[in-house]
Amino acid sequence: MKKIRVAIDGPAGAGKSSISKCAAKKFGMIYVDTGAMYRACAVYAIENGIEITDEAITPHLDEIEIDMSYSPDGQRIMLNGKDVTTRIREEDATIGSSKIAVIPSVRLKLVEMQRTIAQNNAVIMDGRDIGTHVLPDAELKIFLTASVAERAKRRYIEMLEKGMKCEISKVIEDIEFRDKNDSEREFAPLKQAEDAILIDTSDMSFEEVCEKICDLIKEVI
Ligand code: DC
């Protein structure tokens, strides 16, 4: 298979990861969840009592080793040899990841890792800056979005299904905080690439979105 690169960007809760996973499986590509890398860095900071600021984090960057492994069941993420696949989804890691993603040295480190993965594999990579910054030459760029209400509703249901306790108002607050933080940061903010295809999934089912994206991938394969 050609080393196709598909970039899927968009705000939190737009459905990027489930859609990317589904399409990657269908085409035998590797799904790279770049948000998980920012989350793992946040977990390192939290668990080592390091404040999430540029000055405090940058001297510790060399201590952070992230490994991703891929299987048909999904991606597992290791932080310094420890499996943090579940830990990175907790509330403090979610908020921490958005804060840590503002720090340029963290982004430089992770973007380098992401580009190396894409050089060696056919990938579907999701994030905020994949089409604009990480893989500006990607064969296909998609910007996936949905209204705040719809994204919050989906995330809320997903959390309940995983047995996590939450309130819808808290989920809305979290999404609004991250939208603002992710879009307003100076370095590689969340932004639609000029050549990305915009898909608003507010009124689409998961199957409809997946089919549309798979059709777009078929055109570039
Ligand atoms: O996709 P996610 O919700 O797991 O991402 C967690 C945080 O990481 C999100 O608030 C923004 C940040 N992020 C980023 O800045 N750039 C990326 N390519 C991926 C995620």
To the nearest whole number, what is the mean pLDDT of the chain?
94
The 10 Å Cβ neighbour count of residue 63 is 10
CA-proximal residue: ligand 1, atom 3 (nearest): 12
Q: Which atom of ligand 1 is nearest to the CA of 16?
A: 1
Q: Which atom of ligand 1 is nearest to the CA of 185?
A: 15
Is a pLDDT exceeding 90 seen at residue 158? no
CA-proximal residue: ligand 1, atom 6 (nearest): 35
Does the beta carbon of 124 sit less than 6 angstroms from any atom of ligand 1?
no
Does the beta carbon of 133 sit less than 6 angstroms from any atom of ligand 1?
no
Cα distance between residue 66 and residue 110, in whole Å: 9
Is a pLDDT exceeding 90 seen at residue 203? yes
Q: What number is the average pLDDT over the span 139-163? A: 93
Q: What number is the average pLDDT over the span 17-28? A: 93
Please list, in sequence order, all residues whose beta carbon lies within 8 angstroms of the beta carbon of residue 60, skipping any fewer than 6 positions away.
44, 45, 48, 50
Tokens of 56: 């405090």
At residue 197, the pLDDT reads 98
At residue 138, the pLDDT reads 98
Reported pTM: 0.93
pLDDT band of 1, cuts 50, 70, 90? low
Lowest mean pLDDT among 20-34, 42-56, 62-76: 62-76
pLDDT band of 11, cuts 50, 70, 90? very high
Does the beta carbon of 150 sit less than 6 angstroms from any atom of ligand 1?
no
At residue 206, the pLDDT reads 93
